[in-house]
Amino acid sequence: MFTIMEPAQAAELIQDGAVIGLNSFVGTANPEKLHDAITERFRATGHPRNLTLVSSAGFGLFDPERGAENYIREGAVGRIICGHFGAMPSTKKLVLEDRFEAYNLPLGPMSHAMRAQAGGHDSYITKVGLGIFADPRIEGPGLNRISRDDTLVRVVEVEGEEYLRYRLPAFDIALIKATSVDAKGNISFEGEYSTIDALSIAQLTRRNGGRVIVQVDRVRSDFSRPRDIILPAVLVDVVVVCEPERDNEAFGTLSGDIHVPATHMQYWYHRLEKENAKSGKLRAGCEADIIGRRAAKELRRGDIINIGVGIPEKVSKYAAAAGILQDLTLSVESGGTGGLPAGGLEFGAMIGADAICDMSMQFDFYDGGGLDACFMGALEMDRFGNVNAHRGADQASGIGGFGNITAATKKVVFCFTFNTKGLQVTEEDGEVRIRQEGAIPKIVDKVRSISFSGPRAVQNGQQVLYVTERCVFALRPEGLALLEVYPGIDKRRDILARLPFPVLDETDNVQGR
C-alpha cells in the first residue's frame, strides 16, 4: 500500500550508503523536488551520505544550483554511474578532481541492463562499447583516478565472438517523476515527455527489497485506463505530490496534450526556442547554420533518423526549409518517434511525437539497425576517423546514447567545427570566410578518448561523413578523405595546412582553390 508524504519525509527514508536509481532524461521527467529535499536534509544533518547515484540518461538541469548538483557538490555522494554528465555543470568538473568515484557507461547498455537485471538476469551482454573507451582493454568506464570498479563492464566471449557484459549495482531506492497517482496508487505519465526507464527501475528496486518513491503533479480521484498506467500500484511505496511550476502552452506539444501537424512544427519549435533563450541555451554563430545546412543534404525522403544535441539540432531546421521534414521520421533515444526533436532544456523530448515508448525499447530498434542516418556532434576527430564526443580537457560530459546510435546506424554524419575557442566565420553571397581561427584544434592526431571507432565502422560497412563549417571529410578503408571544400575556402591554407596528418584528396578541382 502506497503512502503520500511530503518531500522531507520521503528524504528521511534514504539511508547512508544507499544505491539510488534515478529516472530522468537530463532535465525531463526529473524528480527535482526530491533532490531538493535530499539537499535540505544533508545540510541540516549530514545525512544521507556516501550515496551511489545510478542514471542511464543523466539527471542534470543545466544549472549548478538546481537538483542533485547541490548535494553532490556538498559531499553526500560517493559514487555516480551515469550515461551523461553534460547537463551537470559543476558535477562534470568535480569528476576530474577525484571528489567521488565516477563511471560513464553508454546509455543503451545501462537501460538494457536495468531491464535485464529487473527480470532476474545477472547482467546484459552486447557488442555496443567494443573498441571505444568503455571497453576495459581501451580505458574502461572509470572517469578519474579513484574509479577502479572493474565489475561494471567486462569482456566476455560467446561462441567465439567478443561482447561486453554490463552489470549495475542493485537499487535500494528509486526516485521517479511522473504526472498522476490514481485512487489505487497506480502511476501515469500523461504530462511527461517520456517514461525513460521508470518501469525497469521500479522493478529492479522492488527485486532488491528497496523503496520506490514517485514525485507526481497531482492526485486523481478517478481510476486510470489500464493501458495508461506505467507503474502499477504494487511497485509504488511512496508518492510525493508537488504541483508543477512551469505552465507554458508550448510544453503541451511535448507531452502530446497539443496535437502538432507537420505544417505547425516550425511554429512550435520557435516557441520553445524563445523559452530556451530566457535560459541562455540558444547557440549563436553562423558556423552552426553552415554545418546544419550541409549536413541536411544527406537526408533522403523516407529516412528514419536521430539528431544529436548541439550543432546537429540545426539539421531539422534545414530539413524543414528544404520541404522534406514531413517525409522524414525523426526519433530520439528517450523513446519518441515522429515529430521534431526539441532542443536546449527540453532535449530528449519530441514536438508532436507520433509515439513514445520506453527508452530500452527505442534502443532495441536502434541496435537492430533501424535508423537510416544519424547526425551527431564531436569534440575531436583523429587520423583513424575516431571521434571523441564525451570527454573534454577540463570536464567529462559522458557518452549518452551516442555509443549505441553510431554503432549500428547505416549513415553516420558528424557535425562539428574545424576548431574552437575564438573561431569567427562569416558567410556572404554563398561564400564562407574564416575571419579568425580558433585556438583549439578539433582535428587531432589522436583523440583524448574514443566515443566512436573509425576502424570498427569500416569493418561494419557504415558510411561516415564529418561535416565542418569549411569542408566535408569521409571515412574510407584507406583512411580519411577530403570530400568537399566550400566556396570561399582556400583548400591549402584553411584546411590541409591545418591538419596534423595527410588525407586522401577527393575534391573536385572546381571546388575551393
Residue of 313, 333, 346, 484 marked active site: 333
Domain 3-241 has CATH 3.40.1080.10: yes
For the chain, the structural domain boundaries read 3-241, 286-335+357-505
pLDDT in tens, the chain (513 residues): 899 999 999 999 999 999 999 999 988 899 999 999 999 999 999 999 999 999 999 999 999 999 999 999 999 999 999 999 989 999 999 999 999 999 999 999 999 999 999 999 999 999 999 999 999 999 999 999 999 999 999 999 999 999 999 999 999 999 999 999 999 999 999 999 899 999 999 999 999 999 999 999 999 988 888 999 999 999 999 999 999 876 566 677 788 877 777 777 777 777 776 766 655 544 446 899 999 999 999 999 999 999 998 899 889 888 888 888 889 999 999 999 998 888 777 878 888 889 999 999 999 999 999 999 999 999 999 999 999 999 988 888 999 999 999 999 999 999 999 999 999 999 999 999 999 999 999 999 999 999 999 999 999 999 999 999 999 999 999 999 999 999 999 999 999 999 999 999 999 643 443
Look at residues 32, 28, 22, 23 and name the one whose alpha carbon lies nearest to residue 255.
Answer: 28
Q: Judge whether 333 counts as a catalytic residue.
A: yes
C-alpha distances in Å from residue 180, one per residue of 1, 187, 242, 412: 16, 6, 10, 39
Q: Element (H or E) spanning 119, and its range?
A: none
Using the structure block, give the residue that is written with the C-alpha cell 563511471.
103
Look at residues 12, 18, 16, 22 and name the one whose alpha carbon lies nearest to residue 215.
Answer: 22
Averaged confidence pLDDT in the chain = 92
Q: In a 3-state reduction of DSSP, which class is residue 352?
A: coil
Same topology between domain 3-241 and domain 286-335+357-505:
yes
The DSSP 8-state label assigned to residue 132 in this structure reads S
Work out whether strand 387-388 and strand 380-381 pair parallel, antiparallel, or are unpaired.
Answer: antiparallel
The Cα–Cα gap between 153 and 146 comes to 16
Cell reading at 211: 523503496
The DSSP 8-state label assigned to residue 491 in this structure reads I
Predicted structure pTM score: 0.93
- Please give the class, per CATH, of domain 286-335+357-505: alpha beta
Q: Mind listing the pLDDT tens digit for each residue in 236-263?
A: 999 999 998 765 666 777 888 777 777 7
